[in-house]
Amino acid sequence: MKHTIFIVDDEESIRQALRGVLEDDGYKTAEVATGEDALKWMAEEGHRASAVLLDVWLPKMDGIEVLQNLRKTHPDIPVIVLSGHATIDTAVKATKLGAYHFVEKPFSAEHLLLTLGHALKENRLEQENTRLRKDAPPTARQIIGQSPLFLRMMDEIQSAAQSGASVLVLGENGTGKESVAHLIHEQSPRKDGPFVEVNSAAIPEELIESELFGHEAGSFTGATGRKSGKFDQAHQGTLFLDEIGDMSLKTQAKMLRVVQEQRFERVGGNKTIEVDVRVIAATNKNLEEEIRQGNFREDLYYRLAVLPIQVPPLRERVGDVPLLVNHFLAHITAAYRQKPRPIHPDAMAVLTRYHWPGNIRELRNIVERMIIMTRDPEIGVKDIPPAVTMAVSQQNGVAVSAVGPAAGLAGTYREAKEAFERAYITAQLDRHGGNISRTAEAIQMERSNLHKKMKQLGIQHE
Ligand SMILES: Nc1ncnc2c1ncn2[C@@H]1O[C@H](COP(=O)(O)OP(=O)(O)OP(=O)(O)O)[C@@H](O)[C@H]1O
Ligand SMILES: [Mg+2]
């Protein structure tokens, strides 16, 4: 099938040049000159387009606005933004809106075709994977580990499950707090009752009480009928209060009473409702510190933390890393209907030495990304995201090449140099929260040069 590429540029000469390059390479093209026409064409013919080449600088409706619209109407079609050097800031804005590919004007045919090829390939893989994942049966929630810290936590989970007391699950991001909460419920005598989840950080302050306790009709604008709350729903089961550290003091006060007395009133109602609910709360905050700062009620803390369970960060149980990597490799390849693929021992060694700031969630994401990005029969060091390889080599005070034969010593000189540059810049950007100006200053490079380098190396950064 020939891909159709949709060109949006107000300059006739540029459209003509693009058309020439693309058609010579076997693509079909369609083109318009304005943002308004672009949206019109996409609404009618958009299904035919495999990719859009979009000029950022257009008269009237500019490229950014077009992009914003396309993200909503055609999220699956990759947009390659064409920008002149003077419009770099606009280009950065475009990245935030989800344009991951850029071609700088004046463009070289070779670069344009390369970027386009890359965008199409990535898009195809992404769609294939989303489709496979949709068809895949949900993988059972499993908790894996055998390190001493992990086994101790499993013991605590066992005893907590048997007792009916409130549990407070503590741990960094992505360590498995929610998984632990589920496990406690599943192993408790309440396992046949409901497990209901509330995320305090995700619900707007003005709605949280109605969410938790329900409301009577007409109790506030928008409250049309009577609604039951999460506490009702969790009757004879478990209520999981996630991100409890983000709950406002006002809601904490109400929460205290329910946890203590197992009764409450709906918002706008005066009938007292009694429930039988086991509460498990979780947070990645240091609640003792929050208490000192006056952000968290001490009495509620003691109510919730009858049984505190600390979920250890992955870096304190690196012995579990190989186990987890293999577990996710097996599960994710199966979910994608792929044959199981092994990982090279060098690559495993790098992963084991990484400090895992995002813990198990980060590990899972990295394994998934490696599976998506390489079709090789074995996953190797070269498939590990450069930021990880770089962090590992920095923390060990050695050059990238020392982390494994494939990392820096393979390929041509130019490829090796680019691999290093990519790893270095990605790591520095991460270190400076993705802020290009600050990164440029820190590594003593002109901001515009850094930007150019990033583009050239295909580094995308939000
Ligand atoms: N011990 C484990 N074995 C296997 N997978 C795990 C384990 N712990 C957590 N996971 C997986 O890691 C991911 C993150 O876990 P979970 O959501 O429970 O963590 P969390 O601490 O609640 O994260 P966050 O801080 O982002 O809320 C999930 O995909 C979960 O299935
Ligand atoms: Mg969580």
Choose one of 154, 360, 365, 366 to mutate for the ligand 1 pocket test, by most ligand atoms within 8 angstroms of C-beta: 360
Last residue of a domain, one of 275, 290, 312: 312
Give residue-wise pLDDT tens across range 424-443: 888 788 778 888 898 898 88
From the CA of 143, the nearest ligand is 1
Q: Are residues 113 and 158 in the same domain?
A: no
Kindly give the distance from the C-alpha atom of residue 420 to the centroid of ligand 1, in angstroms, as a whole number.
32
Q: Is residue 267 in some structural domain?
A: yes
Predicted local confidence at residue 230, as pLDDT: 93
**pLDDT value at 40 more than 50:** yes
Site to probe by mutation for ligand 1, drawn from 169, 178, 331 as the one with most ligand atoms within 8 Å of Cβ, is 178
376 is a domain residue = no
| Domain assignment present for 197 | yes
Ligand 1 center to 170 CA (angstroms): 13
Token couple for 73: 């109407």
- pLDDT for res 75: 85
Ligand 1 test: best mutation among 170, 361, 363, most atoms within 8 Å of CB? 361
Q: Are strands 263-265 and 272-274 parallel, antiparallel or unpaired?
A: antiparallel
Give me the CATH number covering residue 222: 3.40.50.300
Q: Which residue has its alpha carbon closest to ligand 1 atom 10?
A: 176
Q: Which ligand is nearest to the CA of 242?
A: 2
The Å distance, Cα 199 to ligand 2 centre, comes to 9
Mutate to test the pocket of ligand 1, among 179, 283, 329 (most ligand atoms within 8 A of CB): 179
Q: What band does 400 get if pLDDT is binned at 50, 70 and 90?
A: very low
Residue 1 has pLDDT above 50, yes or no: yes
* Cα 175 to averaged position of ligand 1 atoms, centre (Å): 5
Which CATH number does the domain housing residue 92 bear? 3.40.50.2300
- Both 204 and 256 in a single domain? yes
Residue 245 lies in a domain: yes
Mean pLDDT on 364-380: 89
Measuring from atom 31 of ligand 1, which residue has the nearest CA? 141
In terms of average pLDDT, the best of 7-11, 219-223, 384-388, 394-398 is: 7-11
Q: Rounded mean pLDDT of the chain?
A: 86
Which atom of ligand 1 is found nearest the CA of 284? 25
If asked whether residues 108 and 184 sit together in one domain, one would say: no
User: What separation in Å is there between the alpha carbon of 173 and the centre of ligand 1?
Assistant: 9
- The yes-or-no verdict on residue 396 having pLDDT over 70 is no
The answer to whether residues 124 and 255 belong to one domain is no
Domain match, 300 and 199 both: yes
Q: Which of 51-65, 118-132, 277-291, 335-349 has the lowest mean pLDDT?
A: 118-132
Domain assignment of residue 372, yes or no = no
Domain boundary among 135, 157, 184: 135
Q: Of the given ranges (47-51, 56-60, 123-127, 177-181), which has the lowest mean pLDDT?
A: 123-127
The residue contributing the CA closest to ligand 1 atom 29 is 361
Mean pLDDT value of segment 59-83: 89
Domain boundary among 282, 312, 342: 312
* Same domain for 84 and 12: yes
Q: Are residues 60 and 129 in the same domain?
A: yes
pLDDT digits (tens, 9 = 90+) for 110-155: 889 988 988 888 788 777 777 766 665 544 568 999 999 999 999 9
For the chain, how far is it from start to end, CA to CA, in angstroms? 33
Task: Return the closest-CA partner of residue 82 out of 455, 461, 457.
Answer: 455
Q: Which residues line ligand 1 (CB under 6 A)?
A: 141-145, 171, 173-179, 284, 324, 360-361, 364
Residue 369, in any domain of the structure: no
Residue 205 covered by a domain = yes
Is 131 in the same domain as 271? Answer: no
Q: How far is the CA of 143 from the centre of ligand 2 (A)?
A: 14
Give me the number of domains the chain comprises.
Answer: 2
Residue 460 vs residue 231, higher pLDDT: 231
Percent of the chain at pLDDT above 70?
89
Q: What is the pLDDT confidence band of residue 412, given thresholds at 50, 70 and 90?
A: low
Could you tell me if 430 and 462 are in contact, meaning their C-beta atoms sit under 8 angstroms apart? no
Q: Which of 242, 228, 248 is nearest to 279 (CA)?
A: 242
Distance between Cα 368 and ligand 2 center (Å)? 19
Distance from Cα 366 to the centre of ligand 2, integer Å: 18
Q: Output the pLDDT for position 401.
A: 38
Please name every residue paired with 280 in a beta bridge, in sequence order, or none if there are none. 167, 240
Between the ranges 171-185, 192-206, 383-397, where is the mean pLDDT highest?
A: 171-185
| Residue nearest to ligand 1 atom 7, measured at CA | 143
Q: Same domain, yes or no, for 291 and 156?
A: yes
Range of the domain at 80: 4-135
Is residue 403's pLDDT more than 50?
Answer: no
- Nearest-CA residue for atom 18 of ligand 1: 176
Point out the ligand 1 atom lying closest to the alpha carbon of residue 145: 1
CA of 200 to the centre of ligand 2 (A): 11
Please compute the mean of the pLDDT values over residues 403-412 and round it to a whole number: 47
Q: Is the pLDDT of residue 174 over 90?
A: yes
pTM given for the model: 0.62
Q: Print the SS3 string covering the chain.
A: CCCEEEEECCCHHHHHHHHHHHHHCCCEEEEECCHHHHHHHHHHHHHHEEEEEEECCCCCCCHHHHHHHHHHHCCCCCEEEEEEHHHHHHHHHHHHCCCCEEEEECCCHHHHHHHHHHHHHHHHHHHHHHHHHHHCCCCCCCCCCCCHHHHHHHHHHHHHHHCCCCEEEECCCCCCHHHHHHHHHHCCCCCCCCEEEEECCCCCHHHHHHHHHCECCCCCCCCCCCECCHHHHCCCEEEEEECHHHCCHHHHHHHHHHHHHCEEECECCCCEEECCEEEEEEECCCHHHHHHCCCCCHHHHHHHCCEEEECCCHHHHHHHHHHHHHHHHHHHHHHCCCCCCCECHHHHHHHHHCCCCCHHHHHHHHHHHHHHHCCCCCECHHHCCHHHHHHHHHHCCCCHHHHCHHHHCCCCHHHHHHHHHHHHHHHHHHHCCCCHHHHHHHCCCCHHHHHHHHHHHCCCCC
Do residue 169 and residue 304 come from a single domain? yes
What pairs with residue 239 in β-bridges? 196, 279
99 and 152 share one domain: no
Residue 313's pLDDT band, with cuts at 50, 70 and 90, is very high
Pairwise pLDDT comparison (69 vs 404), residue with the higher score: 69
Query: At residue 411, does pLDDT exceed 80?
Result: no
Q: How far apart are CA 183 and CA 140, in angstroms?
A: 12
377: in domain: no
Q: Indicate if 111 and 222 belong to the same structural domain.
A: no
**Contacts of 253-261 spanning 24+ positions with Cβ under 8 A:** 253/297, 254/209, 254/212, 254/213, 255/212, 255/300, 256/297, 256/299, 256/300, 256/303, 258/212, 258/213, 258/231, 259/166, 259/300, 259/303, 259/304, 260/303
Taking 90 as the threshold, does the pLDDT of residue 462 lie above it? no
pLDDT of 159 higher than 60? yes
Residue 404 is predicted with a pLDDT of: 40
Average pLDDT over residues 364-391: 88
Ligand nearest to the CA of 197: 2
